[in-house]
Chains A and B, each alone.
Chain A
Amino acid sequence: MPDLLSVKNLKIEATSYPPGEPPKVVTLVEGVSFNVEKGKVLGLIGESGAGKSTIGLSALAYGRGGVRITGGEVLLNGRDILKLDRSGINSVRGCHVCYVAQSAAAAFNPAHKLGDQVIEASLRHGIMSKEDAKKRALYLFRVLGLPNPESFGERYPHQVSGGQLQRAMTAMALCPNPELIVFDEPTTALDVTTQIDVLAAIKHAIEETHTAALYITHDLAVVAQISDDIMVLRQGKTVEYGTTKQVIEAPKEDYTRALVSVRQAKRDEAPDQSGTLLKIERVHAGYSNGFKVLHDVSMHLPKGQTLAIVGESGSGKSTLARVITGLLPPSEGRIVFDGKELPKALKGRSNEELRRIQMIYQMADTAMNPRQTVRDIVGRPLSFYFGMHGAKKTERVGELLDQIEMGSRFLDRYPAELSGGQKQRVAIARALAARPELILCDEPTSALDPLVAEGILNLLMKLQEETAVSYVFITHDIAIVRAIADSVAVMHRGRLVRFGPKSKVLSPPFDDYTDLLLKSVPEMEIGWLERVLKTRRMESAGN
Chain B
Amino acid sequence: MESGPITGPVLTDGVAGETHPRSADLSGIPAKPNPAATGENGGSFWRRFIFRRPLVALILQRFGLSVGLLFAVSLMIFGGIEALPGDFATTYLGQSATPQAVENIRKDLGLDKPWSERYLSWLGGAVTGDFGTSWASKNSVSEQIGNRLGNSLFLAFFAAIVSVPLAVGLGMLAVQFRNRLPDKIINVISLAAISLPEFFIGYLLILFFAVQLGVATFPATVYDSMSFTERLSAIALPVATLVLVVLAHMMRMTRAAILNVMSSAYVETAELKGLGTFRIIARHAAPNAVAPVINVIALNLAYLVVGVVVVEVVFVYPGMGQYMVDAVTVRDMPVVQACGLIFAAFYIFLNMAADILAILANPRLRHPR
Please determine whether chains A and B interact with each other in the same assembly: yes
Chain A interfacial positions (CB closer than 8 Å to B)? 60, 62, 64, 89-95, 98-99, 101, 103, 106-112, 120-121, 124-125, 145-147, 155-156, 158-161, 163-164, 167, 191, 194, 197-198, 272-274, 276, 279, 281-282, 289-292, 295-296, 298-300, 312, 314, 487, 492-501, 504-505, 509, 511-513, 515-516, 536, 539-540, 543
**Is B11's CB under 8 angstroms from A500's CB?**
yes
Given the contacts A492-B20, A499-B9, A109 and B273 also touching, CB distance less than 8 Å: no
Is residue B13 within 8 Å, beta carbon to beta carbon, of the partner chain? yes
Distance of A94 from chain B, by nearest CB (Å):
4
List the 6 shortest-distance A-B pairs measured between CB atoms, nearest first.
Answer: A540-B24, A93-B274, A94-B273, A495-B16, A161-B30, A500-B11
**Is B38's CB under 8 angstroms from A513's CB?**
no
Contacts of A299 in B (CB 8 A): 9
**Is B272's CB under 8 angstroms from A197's CB?**
no
**Is B6's CB under 8 angstroms from A276's CB?**
yes
Given the contacts A99-B269, A156-B363, A109 and B284 also touching, CB distance less than 8 Å: yes
**Contact residue among A60, A108, A112, A314 (Cβ-Cβ distance under 8 Å from B33):** A314
Distance of B274 from chain A, by nearest CB (Å):
3
**Is A110's CB under 8 angstroms from B364's CB?**
yes
Complex: chain A residue closest to B19, CB-CB: A493
**Is A497's CB under 8 angstroms from B16's CB?**
yes
Complex: chain B residue closest to A488, CB-CB: B9
A-B contacts, CB under 8 A, total:
192
Given contacts A93-B273, A279-B6, 13 further A-B contacts (CB under 8 A): A62-B271, A90-B274, A95-B274, A106-B265, A110-B288, A121-B274, A121-B275, A191-B31, A291-B35, A492-B19, A496-B1, A499-B4, A536-B23
Distance of A412 from chain B, by nearest CB (Å):
34
Complex: chain A residue closest to B289, CB-CB: A111
The CA of A158 and the CA of B275, in the complex, are separated in Å by 23
Is residue B181 within 8 Å, beta carbon to beta carbon, of the partner chain? no
Is residue B287 within 8 Å, beta carbon to beta carbon, of the partner chain? yes
The CA of A329 and the CA of B90, in the complex, are separated in Å by 65
| Main secondary structure on B side of the interface with A | loop
Contacts of A120 in B (CB 8 A): 273, 275
**Is B33's CB under 8 angstroms from A516's CB?**
no
The CA of A139 and the CA of B15, in the complex, are separated in Å by 41
Contacts of A62 in B (CB 8 A): 271-272
Complex: chain B residue closest to A190, CB-CB: B28
**Is B8's CB under 8 angstroms from A273's CB?**
yes
The CA of A512 and the CA of B274, in the complex, are separated in Å by 45
Given the contacts A94-B274, A158-B369, A516-B21, A282 and B3 also touching, CB distance less than 8 Å: yes
Given the contacts A110-B266, A492-B20, A511-B20, A163 and B39 also touching, CB distance less than 8 Å: no
Given the contacts A120-B273, A289-B39, A493-B16, A109 and B266 also touching, CB distance less than 8 Å: yes
**Is B14's CB under 8 angstroms from A511's CB?**
yes
Contacts of B7 in A (CB 8 A): 274
**Is B24's CB under 8 angstroms from A539's CB?**
yes
Contacts of A295 in B (CB 8 A): 16
**Is B33's CB under 8 angstroms from A540's CB?**
no
**Is B28's CB under 8 angstroms from A108's CB?**
no
Given the contacts A125-B274, A290-B43, A500 and B23 also touching, CB distance less than 8 Å: no
The CA of A300 and the CA of B8, in the complex, are separated in Å by 9
The CA of A276 and the CA of B6, in the complex, are separated in Å by 8
Is residue B96 within 8 Å, beta carbon to beta carbon, of the partner chain? no
Contacts of A111 in B (CB 8 A): 284, 287-288, 363
Is residue B94 within 8 Å, beta carbon to beta carbon, of the partner chain? no
Distance of A121 from chain B, by nearest CB (Å):
4
Contacts of A194 in B (CB 8 A): 28, 31
**Contact residue among B13, B19, B22, B271 (Cβ-Cβ distance under 8 Å from A498):** B13
**Is A101's CB under 8 angstroms from B23's CB?**
no
For window 250-291 of B, CB contacts with A under 8 Å fall at: 264-266, 268-276, 279, 283-284, 287-288
Is residue B42 within 8 Å, beta carbon to beta carbon, of the partner chain? yes
Contacts of B27 in A (CB 8 A): 145, 147
The CA of A312 and the CA of B33, in the complex, are separated in Å by 13
**Is B42's CB under 8 angstroms from A124's CB?**
no
Is residue B29 within 8 Å, beta carbon to beta carbon, of the partner chain? yes
**Is A543's CB under 8 angstroms from B39's CB?**
no
Distance of B222 from chain A, by nearest CB (Å):
42
Interface centre among B11, B22, B28, B39 (most CB of A within 10 A): B28
**Is B287's CB under 8 angstroms from A497's CB?**
no
**Is A505's CB under 8 angstroms from B8's CB?**
no
The CA of A281 and the CA of B7, in the complex, are separated in Å by 15
Distance of B367 from chain A, by nearest CB (Å):
5
